[in-house]
Amino acid sequence: PNSKAGDGKPRLLLMGQRRSGKSSISSVVFHKLPPGETLYLETTTHIKKESMHSFMDFQVWDLPGQFNYFDPEFDVENIFDEIGALIWVIDAQDEYLEAIGRLNQTILNLQSRYPSINIEVFVHKVDGLSEDYKSDTFRDIIQRVQDELSDHGYENAPVSFYQTSIYDHSIFEAFSKVIQKLIPQLPTLEALLNSLCAACRIEKAYLFDIMSKIYIATDTSPTDIGSYEICSDYIDVVIDISEIYGWDRPAEEGKKELIETGNNDAESLITMERKGNNYLYLREINKYLALICLMGDDSPQDKKSIIDYNVGVFQAALKQVFPRADREQLQPE
């Protein structure tokens, strides 16, 4: 299991060379820093442990790029024993051969000692690249990693690749996929969302972690980035509103966190709104999670009571899946 950590939570490790974008990624995704302001961030020169006060409460360890993690001096056990996924950030706008070399070395080391850790390669900063160059670079990087792995007899290593940028939603989309692999209850969540969609003629339903805007599950109909964008933008509205009416939000870093015991229906925020050709329905599920549904034009406002009812059923089922919406229920197997 990947959950030996003292706090029992799935942990992500963010690695990559200096200036590849690690600090920027964690600042934008977890601290809502506007992407343009990452230009003024200090590059990572030390190990940075951050605790995320969200549904998963995973950690990002921002490690400096020039560090040799497999140096005997370094406490490898302590780091790798506890993580569920290693995110390796490669700057696609820069020379990447050296980065690939280090990535391959790291993967080989992990494969022999920690074969269950997911390795998630973020081919990052793709915003600055032309479409052609972007896809050539992506293919080239995948090829170079896979060649190295098969040379060493690792044909089925758990390595995945994503094209990411902090200037659009791709970084959130990639994080969502990484996180979903660490949630053992994902198939159940997807099945619940599927039946909700079928019952209410919902086009797309997402279960969002409100703080990070990572979605921890969606129904299994095809996902297009457009619907994710519409739904995630809608959360910003909710966060503002809920600061006034809603939950007691998790405290700032350093403060003792609260254990959320479940939903308090009286405070749960429910809204439905027309957005262009769509209707958006949002309901807070608990302190950390919100359900957001996207419906077509043919879903008039008077259907809301049917949706409210079915979402109530969904919410009750979710409580069975996560009897307590706290971290103990979310350990990876």
Closest approach of Cβ 299 to ligand GDP, in Å? 36
Nearest residue (CB) to ligand GDP, 60 versus 238: 60
Nearest residue (CB) to ligand GDP, 166 versus 200: 166
Nearest residue (CB) to ligand GDP, 23 versus 242: 23
Closest approach of Cβ 15 to ligand GDP, in Å? 9
Nearest residue (CB) to ligand GDP, 6 versus 40: 40
Closest approach of Cβ 99 to ligand GDP, in Å? 11
Nearest residue (CB) to ligand GDP, 55 versus 88: 88
Nearest residue (CB) to ligand GDP, 19 versus 303: 19
Nearest residue (CB) to ligand GDP, 3 versus 163: 163
Q: Are 284 and 290 in contact (CB under 8 A)?
A: yes
Closest approach of Cβ 225 to ligand GDP, in Å? 16
Closest approach of Cβ 46 to ligand GDP, in Å? 11
Strand order in the sheet with 11-16: 48-51, 59-62, 11-16, 83-91, 118-124, 159-164
Nearest residue (CB) to ligand GDP, 45 versus 116: 45
Compute the C-alpha angle 264/178/106, nearest 5°.
Answer: 140
List contacts with ligand GDP (CB under 6 A). 16, 18-24, 38-39, 41, 43-44, 124-125, 127-128, 165-167
Closest approach of Cβ 21 to ligand GDP, in Å? 3
Closest approach of Cβ 18 to ligand GDP, in Å? 5
**Using alpha carbons only, how large is the chain's radius of gyration in Å?**
20
Closest approach of Cβ 123 to ligand GDP, in Å? 10
